[in-house]
Amino acid sequence: PATVAELALAVQLERLRVAEALAARDNVVGLLEDAYISVRQKTATISRLERELEILKRSSSSPSNLRALVQESQCGDSLTATEDQTDVEKALSVESHVREICPGVPLAEKTVVGRHSILAALPLPSDIPEDELQPIVLPHSYSLGEFLRNTTGVLTTYWCPDREEHGYFLTPVFKCTTNPRVVTAHRWSAVDVLGHMREPTECFYNKDGKWYYAGTYVAFRMDDLTTQEWGLLSTETTQALIKETLAGRKNVSPQNTYETGQLYAAGALRASCVGLQCIGFNNKVYHSVLEQS
């Protein structure tokens, strides 16, 4: 009986050793699997960083090619837009990738580059004339606002350096108005930044003191101006935005203007960036305006 008990104990011990060996094997297999996955992820990260480093090196020597290089990086990362996306949605996907790369670029400059990449990714209409546009010569007794009904702000409008047919303009998200019954009562309210430009609109721009017909445009909302970008704006541009913000307020004092500027700088007030996509060129409008000027 003692021999049988010892044999049973030995078998039990052997089973425990086998179970322990199997558990150790499973643990090693799990660790190897985790290590394999980690190596693959790190290899992919290294490849991506190498591509982005190459993009940064090439873009630093030729900044105008940055957006084309970004698109090249997107192809390498298989970041392709789906067929059911609109042109604006595809352009926004390009902009989001721009913000992920270029880690050494200041935030404000990266935001501007990203905004330009959106515009550069938009398609161009096929009916834009190849000839140089003729300026609109206004009668001395008229301003363009009186001569034409739709204009864009000169100081607050920017055009894409790579695709100058597209651009964006800045406009206040909130405006201050005065109660018509109580001149000392003021209120802030959100405004519709797109307005009538949700629909195709004929637009004009000013260059070197001359007005030109730009084409048919539709507007779309982009990311609001950041506080870092606000600090980079010219004094003329910030004053134009502040003036537009307080246009509905009566008895505006220099103190009101200063305080409004401080609110923008702190981010309490925001300026919206409204994208301008050129979708056509109305030759009938163009020639009609030139004939009337």
What six digits make up the tokens of 125? 């209409």
Residue-level pLDDT at 289: 77
How does pLDDT run along the chain (293 residues), one tens digit per residue?
557 777 888 888 888 888 888 888 888 888 888 888 888 888 877 877 777 677 666 555 444 454 454 444 444 444 444 444 555 555 555 445 445 545 555 667 778 887 888 888 887 777 666 666 666 665 554 444 444 444 445 678 888 888 888 889 999 999 999 988 888 888 999 999 988 888 898 888 777 777 788 889 999 999 899 999 999 999 999 999 999 999 999 889 999 999 999 999 999 999 999 998 989 888 888 888 777 66
Residue-level pLDDT at 63: 45
Residue-level pLDDT at 253: 92
214 C-beta neighbours (distance < 10 Å), count: 21
For 216-241, the pLDDT digits (tens) are: 999 999 989 999 999 999 999 999 99
Rounded CA Rg of the chain? 31
Q: How far is CA 110 from CA 66, 67, 87, 105, 246, in A?
A: 11, 12, 22, 6, 30
For 45-100, the pLDDT digits (tens) are: 787 777 767 766 655 544 445 445 444 444 444 444 444 455 555 555 544 544 55
SS3 state of residue 178: strand
Looking at the whole model, is its pTM more than 0.85?
Answer: no
DSSP 154: S
What DSSP line would sit under 218-284, residue for residue?
EEEE-PPPPHHHHHHS-HHHHHHHHHHHTTB-SS--HHHHHHHHHHHHHTSS-EEEEEEEEEE--HH
Residue-level pLDDT at 190: 92
Residue-level pLDDT at 151: 43
